[in-house]
Structure 1
Amino acid sequence: MANQELESNMRKSVDATQRTFNTIRTGRANPSLLDRLSVEYYGAETPLKSLATISTPDSQTISIQPFDLSSLSLIEKAIATSDLGFTPNNDGKIIRINVPPLTEERRKDFCKLASKYAEEGKVALRNIRRDAIEKIKRMEKEGEFSKDQSRDEQESVQKLTDKFSNEIEKHLAEKEADILKV
């Protein structure tokens, strides 16, 4: 069994889960909060980060400087209509977003969202595990593996799954601590 390929696929799932965690607000401004945001630009959905420079001048402000000033109002509209709950301030050159501190209720909601993302990541890992184990069983049936080899391979797949699942749990715990920190 191509263990490196399996490990690579599981690593990608963990990394994707980590990137998803980064889109969840904590009490501080962070450019990655806008990672999922896309803007209708010349008739095509374009990721915000390809239209503008996004920075955080301080812990409560996100600054967005568009490369093309004509896209300023489109970016402002995309932020205002998104589910992020931000109100953009446009001064004609730069859009500033004030990131208000989170309420206790909002923090709990974001922890639930982080748990949901972690569970989705673990489901992806389990799907990879299931495919790998089916492949091992098929190889055993075709005579490429003995019963012992098949069992050993399945155990190693399970160990890899557990390792990456624990990694997702660790990232979730860090994210929840980050969200709850005032």
Structure 2
Amino acid sequence: MSMIAGRYLVRCAVRKFPVAASCSSAEHVLMMGCAEVAVTPADLSLTPHQQRRFFGSKRSKLGHHMERLDEEAHRFEREEAVEKRKKKKAGKKKNRQAAKGTDVEVPEVEFTDDLADDDEDDGPSLPDPKDLELIMNRIVDGVKESYKSIRGAEPTPDIFDRIMVEAYGDTVPLPTVAQAVIVSPTLAQVTCYDPSVTKSVRDAIRDTLELNPQLEDEMSGTIKVPLPRVSMETRQKTAKQLAKQAERARNRIRDIRRKAMNKVKQAKDGKLEGVSEDEAFRTGKEIDSATEKVTKKLNDQLQAKQDEILAV
């Protein structure tokens, strides 16, 4: 079925004449017995009785054509209605989230495989406890660095430190091109050293923190950043995420210790030439001491950050 100049061409199986007739009514069409006929949209409103009268067992074909025509006529209206409902539902969800408070995303800390390779020595010697402590501290320091972008009950300028800005043909940390100051619990001000990068800084803040920074004065390089309040429910959720992150770091530290202690055990069993049992025992104790020291450091910084987040 197709539409030409406001009239529909209906192909039916009454008679197989390869002609098209312009008829004044659907009844006239059927009486003409055309294979392809032109009818107005109003002519398609046939009652079931008319279909049975004029089409007999063939009436289903026109019925299918009419259903398809009606479906096409209303398809766009239905799609538009569905889209409006989706937008309305999304708006309600966004408003509910705004009422609860802004979600805080805990950055992922990658514990790369090179750390695992550093703690094992293929040579016939014991691992150095001081070197192992340095490797473990790199893990703890990485976790601490990730805390900077997580705000507590009160915002701090640290939340801007991990933002990367496209400037001068390169990607640089925000603190290298601008200074952030907390004006109030709900407002921060970022001042760019070079006004030419103001828009890039604004876009980086918007994309990274999902906030709505405003250019107060582009010539002076000043950006105002409204800071939404974070609800207690969201802060509690963030504190739990930090605990999980710290547990992953502990597991990584334990893994480093385990691999080092495997070498110590080999020495105790006399499998490392030139290493006495006493030396192996002493090294094992130093490794345990370093592990406990680093783990305590990790636990202390986690507790301090959780207290900051949950402060009333």
Contact 2:129 2:290 in 1 (8 A): no
**Higher relative contact order (CA closer than 8 Å, sequence separation 6+):** 1
RMSD over aligned CA atoms reads 2.4
Q: 1:38 to 1:135 in 2, by over 3 A?
A: farther
* Counterpart in the other structure of 2:143: 17
User: Paired residue for 2:246?
Assistant: 118
Is residue 88 of structure 1 aligned with residue 216 of structure 2? no
Q: SS at 1:95's partner residue?
A: strand
Task: Please report how far the alpha carbon of residue 3 of structure 1 lies from its aligned counterpart in structure 2 after TM superposition.
Answer: 3.0
CA contact (8 A) 1:89 1:97 kept: yes
* 1:101-180 equivalent positions in 2, closer than 5 A: 101-136=229-264, 141-180=271-310
- The within-5 A match list for 1:25-44 is 25-44=151-170
Bigger CA radius of gyration: 2
Q: Which amino acid aligns with 1:109?
A: K
Greater displacement, 35-44 / 169-178: 35-44
CA distance in structure 2 between the partners assigned to 1:40 and 1:78 by the alignment: 8
- For residue 141 of structure 1, give the secondary structure of its aligned residue in structure 2: coil
The answer to whether the 8 A contact 1:61-1:96 is kept is yes
Structure 2: which amino acid aligns with 1:163? K
Question: Aligned AA for 2:279?
Answer: Q
Q: Secondary structure at the match of 1:119?
A: helix
Q: CA deviation at 1:150?
A: 2.0
TM-score (normalizing by structure 2): 0.52
Whichever residue aligns with residue 160 of structure 2, its letter is L
- For 1:15 and 1:181, the matched residues in 2 are separated by 23
TM-score of the superposed pair, with normalisation by structure 1: 0.83
| Alpha-carbon contact 1:14-1:167 (below 8 Å) kept | yes
Unmatched 5+ residue regions in structure 1? none
Q: Note the alpha carbon deviations across 1:89-109, whole angstroms, 9 max, x for none.
A: 211231122222211221123
Aligned residue for 1:45, secondary structure, equals strand
Would the aligned equivalents of 1:21 and 1:117 in 2 still touch at CA under 8 Å?
Answer: no
Structure 1 pair 147/99, CA: closer, same or farther in 2 (3 Å)?
same
Judging changes above 3 Å, is the alpha-carbon distance between structure 1 residues 123 and 49 closer, same or farther for their aligned structure 2 residues?
A: farther
Q: Write out per-residue CA displacement over residues 122-149 of structure 1, whole angstroms, 9 at most, x where no aligned residue.
A: 2342343245335545666332323343
The equivalent residue for 1:74 is 200
Deviation at 1:9, TM superposition (A): 3.0
Change (3 A) 1:90 1:135: farther
Worse-superposed segment, 149-158 or 66-75: 149-158
Equivalent residue pairs, number? 181
